[in-house]
Amino acid sequence: MTITINPAERLKKLPPYLFAEIDRLKREAKAKGKDIIDLGVGDPDIPTPAFIIEELYRAAKDPSNHRYALDAGMPVFREEIARWYDKRFGVKLDSQTEILPLIGSKEGIAHLPLAVINPGDVVLVPDPCYPPYKSGTWFAGGEVSIMPLEEENGFLPNFAEIDPSALKEAKLMFLNYPNNPTAAVAPVEFYQDAVEYARRHDLIIASDAAYSEMAYDGYRPVSLLNAKCGKDVGIEFHSLSKTFNMTGWRVGFAVGNPELIKLLAKVKSNIDSGIFQAIQFAGIRALKDGDDAVRKNIAVYQDRRDVLVDGLEKLGWKVSKPKATFYVWASVPAGYTSAELCSKLLKDASIVVTPGNGFGANGEGYIRFACTVSKERILEMLERIKNLK
């Protein structure tokens, strides 16, 4: 007799994971023989640089790397992260207490609420947002309170408009700049305001900086830790995924307040067994020698960004040229919802893009393009849109 299997209540709270649903629709279209142009998921199409792959190969051949890794990451990896962070942001970190390697920044972001949130606690989450901010909160038994990101405010949260009743129970605030999905950026003055707000209301700030190295036209994003006392209230997540085209490698790191690093490490030590050491050696090589590769990536994505934005503007779309990320956040033309337009583009033009409301209710009225196909395919996509009836 088959047993009854019911999902846990925490799973019932979750909407379908956005990118899994997009992937399902894409597979269905491909099965019908359609030539899909996929600008849906932010997964770099540029290969991982050869020198990083060579370092992985070298380290993978060493039997000493075949055993369990240290939960807290190899000391040499943490030291290289500290060196890179000082060089990039001018912020000094203690490699022993203020750095924690992660199996991709996503897992650290999703696990952080387990370390600091009790059932019923409130987490302040921007909307639209990267979905794990909400799902990680729900898995920890917390409640999500939305901070709307609106175009007229540069897609920055307005702290003065945060619900006072939610603020009383709030323990954690997520921020994400350069932003996914809006591609908005934040100046150091914004982070300073956020830090001062957090200190007044006894809040932890979790800063998702996965796109900090993907910026254009000479712009250089700043860190939460560039704000005075940022380390007192915050933890920041970085990723090698987009920076070095290493999404499948699953390697990132958290930096910041040593107590937060310690608590997140305690969660992780009970869940995973660390990053394969050969990948950590590859990460060291990426951070140490990857500047030229990053510059080449930026040149490619900037070219694609320009072609896409200029092309959409010629078609009458309302769209801004982003300073960072490889996303373009475009207003939906009149007569469609976000989902209706995405459905039409897939059905009638074999184009995959992401509906803004998939990132939260405040994303309605927008769609997100990821510049993760060649310039030639972007031009073909624009032609397909032009020919739509």
Q: Which residue has the tokens 């009970």?
A: 270
Q: What pTM, to 2 d.p., does this model score?
A: 0.95
63: tokens are: 């039997």
User: Which 3 state secondary structure label does DSSP give 308?
Assistant: helix
Residue 293 near residue 243, CB atoms below 8 Å: no
Amino acid 18: pLDDT: 64
Residues 6 or more apart in contact with residue 65 via CB below 8 angstroms: 59, 276, 277, 278, 281
- List the chain pLDDT tens, one digit each, 389 residues: 789 999 898 888 887 766 676 677 778 877 888 899 999 989 999 999 999 999 999 999 999 999 999 889 999 999 999 999 999 999 999 999 999 999 999 999 999 999 999 999 999 999 999 999 999 999 999 999 999 999 999 999 999 999 999 999 999 999 999 999 999 999 999 999 999 999 999 999 999 999 999 999 999 999 999 999 999 999 999 999 999 999 999 999 999 999 999 999 999 999 999 999 999 999 999 999 999 999 999 999 999 999 999 999 999 999 999 999 999 999 999 999 998 999 899 989 999 999 999 999 999 999 999 999 999 999 999 999 999 86
202: left (phi over 0), alpha (psi -120 to 50) or beta: left
76: left (phi over 0), alpha (psi -120 to 50) or beta: alpha
Task: Report how far residue 25's alpha carbon sits from residue 352's, in angstroms, rounded to the nearest whole number.
Answer: 9
CATH of domain 50-290: 3.40.640.10
Between strands 234-239 and 37-38, the pairing is unpaired
Residue 240 near residue 246, CB atoms below 8 Å: yes
Task: Report how far residue 370's alpha carbon sits from residue 109's, in angstroms, rounded to the nearest whole number.
Answer: 22
Of the candidates 209, 229, 228, the residue with the CA atom closest to the CA atom of residue 220: 209
Amino acid 305: pLDDT: 98
Amino acid 19: pLDDT: 65
Task: Report how far residue 231's alpha carbon sits from residue 270's, in angstroms, rounded to the nearest whole number.
Answer: 25
152: tokens are: 């007229």
Residue type, 283: G
**Where along the chain do the CATH 3.40.640.10 domains lie?**
50-290
Amino acid 176: pLDDT: 98
Amino acid 12: pLDDT: 84
Q: Where are the beta strands (DSSP E) in 97-157?
A: 99-102, 122-127, 143-148
**Where along the chain do the CATH 3.90.1150.10 domains lie?**
9-47+292-386
CA separation (Å) from 284 to 5, 16, 210, 320? 44, 36, 17, 36
User: Which 3 state secondary structure label does DSSP give 365?
Assistant: coil
**E strand or H helix at 151:** none
Q: Which residue has the tokens 């934005």?
A: 309
Between strands 170-176 and 327-331, the pairing is unpaired
Task: Report how far residue 147's alpha carbon sits from residue 155's, in angstroms, rounded to the nearest whole number.
Answer: 10
User: Which 3 state secondary structure label does DSSP give 377?
Assistant: helix
Task: Report how far residue 129's alpha carbon sits from residue 160's, in angstroms, rounded to the nearest whole number.
Answer: 20
The CATH number of domain 9-47+292-386, selected from 3.90.1150.10, 3.30.70.20, 3.50.50.60, 3.40.50.2300: 3.90.1150.10
